[in-house]
Amino acid sequence: MFTISAYFDIQMNFRSAVPLDIHVIRIANRDYKLGSQEKSLTEKEYFEISNKLRTIWGDDAGWVQAVLFQNELQKPKKVSNKRIKMEKNEKLKIKKTKKEVKTEP
């Protein structure tokens, strides 16, 4: 799934339009080593990143962006060990609470 504006740009024969959001910037940094900040882009930075990706992806850059964006959203999120431990502790607390409730007359 991608933004309505991206779909509109692609359908209106702006196949090289590369709308940016945090996911696309992460792709650019990870796969193409662009080293861009992910938030608070200036207009100049936005167009520089879009132009670099258009150069890399070619005339159908908008389609490439849409496919990579969708793929990025489908990836399972990494969960930190700290979060896993917190969730396990929370489950144990819930189990203990249920046992306490059952043992009361």
What is the 3-class SS of the chain, one letter each residue? CCCHHHHHHHHCCCCCCCCCCHHHHHHHHHHHCCCCCCCCCCHHHHHHHHHHHHHHHHHHHHHHHHHHHHHHHHCCCCCCHHHHHHHHHHHHHHHHHHHHHHHCC
pLDDT at 1: 39
User: Considering the entire predicted model, what is its pTM?
Assistant: 0.58
Which residue in this structure is represented by tokens 């359908």? 11
pLDDT at 38: 79
Q: What span, in angstroms and rounded, lies between the C-alpha atoms of 60 and 71?
A: 17
To the question of domain 4-76 being in CATH 1.10.1670.10, the answer is yes
In the chain, domain spans: 4-76
Each of the 105 residues of the chain gets a pLDDT tens digit; together they read 345 455 455 455 677 888 888 888 888 888 988 888 877 888 888 888 889 999 999 988 888 888 888 888 887 776 666 666 777 777 666 666 666 665 555
